[in-house]
């Protein structure tokens, strides 16, 4: 399954939007946090997990999905949310804790819910998988179209929730795809130090489903492999586990000193930053010009700037509204 030029352009554009969004968040996050860094201060308080470098995992998968398909994501959700079509203004405002945020400021960056495009995430490692299995079950029982995709990190593959959910999805042959974003780090502990096998995709055989490993953080390769898994799911052939080798170009969270990274690792990863790589590919394969690129970059910046402005200009909720929405 090969992406069309339009699909490649869509993927590149959403990689750009995601990267520019994270860069904007990164900058604003530091406002009010110097000279002393205190996570509670500034227009964006709390933990912040940036997804720089992992954009291929988002676009290569979501290029196959529609609004009706369900995606559950992780504590590092922005790139996936953007590729899934989550309302960017609402997400930005949520990250700022504003009343116009997707959840009126109750959730923040780790709890993004946009039912209009069936996107949600959880801040707990490994807890994206159960709800995705349930959503897939729901579609089968309701005989409604749509599949479910659960994102998780490679660290989450060592959680019990992962194994329980994969087994159940395998037993029930549900239309669900598990996407492991293997950025090789669980905060500061390497995959090598925490995982008994080299490739989590091998674990699929325990659960009666195909397992695929995609090296190289390559959106095109991801698109091809995931396309087959999506076809399998849509035609009722059951779940697939896919591990994508990707790279975390930022720290685990903002403020992470990353002293645990081996010398030279980050520099090496930066050299294969998937965004310039994708740009080169487009130039080579589709003879994209610098003008084409400049236009797309400008468009992406425009989308991000508009979302950030919306978030900044929005009001904070009345504090006592905290008491609402516990029950409906």
The binding site for other proteins (CB under 8 A) comprises 70, 72, 101-104, 106-107, 111, 113, 115, 118, 120, 122, 124, 127, 129-139, 141-142, 148, 160-161, 164-165, 167-168, 171, 324-328
| Nearest distance in Å: CB 144, other proteins | 8
| Nearest distance in Å: CB 45, other proteins | 17
Nearer to other proteins, 137 or 277 (CB): 137
| Nearest distance in Å: CB 56, other proteins | 26
Nearer to other proteins, 196 or 327 (CB): 327
Give me the helices (H) in the chain, please.
Answer: 5-29, 55-62, 78-84, 88-96, 129-142, 160-172, 191-194, 219-234, 265-271, 274-286, 290-313
From 133, 192, 118, 179, select the one nearest 152 (Cα to Cα): 179
Nearer to other proteins, 12 or 162 (CB): 162
Evaluate the omega torsion of the peptide bond into residue 35 and state whether it is cis, within 30 degrees of 0. Answer: yes
Nearer to other proteins, 100 or 247 (CB): 100
Task: Provide the 3-class DSSP secondary structure of residue 90.
Answer: helix
The secondary structure of residue 119, as a DSSP letter, is E
CA angle 108, 56, 292 (to 5 degrees): 105
| Nearest distance in Å: CB 108, other proteins | 8
How far apart CA 30 and CA 279 sit, in angstroms, is: 29
| Nearest distance in Å: CB 50, other proteins | 21
Nearer to other proteins, 36 or 328 (CB): 328
């Amino acid at each position: 399954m090969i992406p069309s030029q339009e699909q490649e352009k869509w993927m590149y554009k959403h990689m750009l939007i995601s990267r520019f969004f994270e860069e904007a968040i990164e900058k604003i996050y530091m406002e009010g946090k110097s000279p002393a860094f205190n996570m509670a201060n500034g227009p964006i308080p709390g933990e912040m997990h940036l997804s720089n470098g992992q954009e291929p995992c988002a676009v290569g998968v979501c290029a196959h999905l529609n609004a009706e398909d369900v995606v559950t994501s992780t504590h590092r959700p922005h790139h996936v949310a953007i590729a899934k079509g989550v309302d960017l203004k609402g997400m930005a405002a949520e990250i700022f804790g504003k009343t116009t945020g997707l959840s009126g400021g109750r959730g923040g960056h780790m709890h993004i819910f946009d039912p209009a495009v069936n996107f949600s995430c959880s801040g707990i490692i490994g807890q994206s998988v159960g709800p995705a299995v349930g959503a897939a079950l729901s579609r089968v029982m309701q005989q409604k179209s749509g599949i479910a995709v659960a994102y998780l990190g490679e660290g989450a593959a060592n959680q019990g929730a992962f194994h329980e959910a994969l087994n159940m999805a395998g037993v029930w042959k549900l239309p669900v795809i598990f996407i492991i974003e293997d950025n090789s780090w669980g905060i500061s502990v390497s995959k090598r130090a925490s995982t008994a096998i080299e490739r989590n995709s091998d674990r699929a055989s325990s659960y009666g489903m195909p397992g695929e490993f995609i090296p190289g953080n390559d959106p095109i390769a991801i698109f091809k492999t995931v396309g087959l898994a999506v076809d399998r799911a849509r035609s009722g052939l059951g779940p697939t586990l896919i591990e994508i080798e990707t790279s975390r170009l930022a720290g685990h969270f903002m403020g992470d000193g990353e002293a645990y990274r081996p010398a030279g690792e980050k520099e090496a990863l930066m050299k294969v930053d998937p965004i310039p790589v994708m740009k080169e590919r487009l130039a080579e394969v589709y003879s994209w010009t610098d003008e084409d690129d400049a236009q797309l970059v400008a468009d992406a910046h425009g989308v991000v700037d508009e979302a950030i402005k919306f978030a900044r200009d929005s009001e904070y909720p009345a504090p006592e509204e905290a008491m609402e929405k516990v029950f409906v």
